[in-house]
Amino acid sequence: MTEHSERRRRGRPRGANAGDTRARILAAATAEFAEHGYEAASMRAIARRADVDPALVHHYFDGKQALVAEVVEVPLRPERVVREALAAPIDELGGRLVRAVLTAWDSGAVRPAAVAALRSAIGQGPVARMLREFLRHEIMQRIATALGDADDAELRAELAASQLVGVIMVRYVLEFEPVASVDVDELVRRVGPAVQWHLTGSPESLDSTARSANDSAHDE
- Mean pLDDT, to the nearest integer, of 201-219? 58
CB 35 within 8 A of CB 126: yes
Cα–Cα distance, 174 to 171 (Å, whole number): 6
Angle ∠(83,198,214) on CA atoms, nearest 5: 170
CB 150 within 8 A of CB 58: no
The secondary structure of 78-144, three-state, reads HHHHHHHHHCCCHHHHHHHHHHHHHHHHCCCCCHHHHHHHHHHHCCCCHHHHHHHHHHHHHHHHHHH
Q: pLDDT tens across 4-52, in order?
A: 444 444 444 454 566 788 888 888 887 887 677 777 788 898 899 889 9
- Which position has the higher pLDDT, 157 or 149? 157
Cα–Cα distance, 135 to 116 (Å, whole number): 15
What the chain holds in terms of domains, given with CATH numbers, is: 3-71 (1.10.10.60), 78-201 (1.10.357.10)
- Which position has the higher pLDDT, 213 or 50? 50
- According to the model, what pLDDT value does residue 153 have? 92
- According to the model, what pLDDT value does residue 151 have? 87
Q: Specify burial of residue 161 (Cβ count, 10 A radius: 0-12, 13-18, 19+).
A: buried
The contacts of residue 57 (CB under 8 Å, 6+ apart) are: 25, 43, 46, 47, 50
User: For 44, how many CA atoms within 13 A lie in the half-sphere containing its CB?
Assistant: 1
Q: pLDDT tens across 75-122, in order?
A: 566 677 788 888 889 999 999 999 988 998 887 766 776 777 777 667
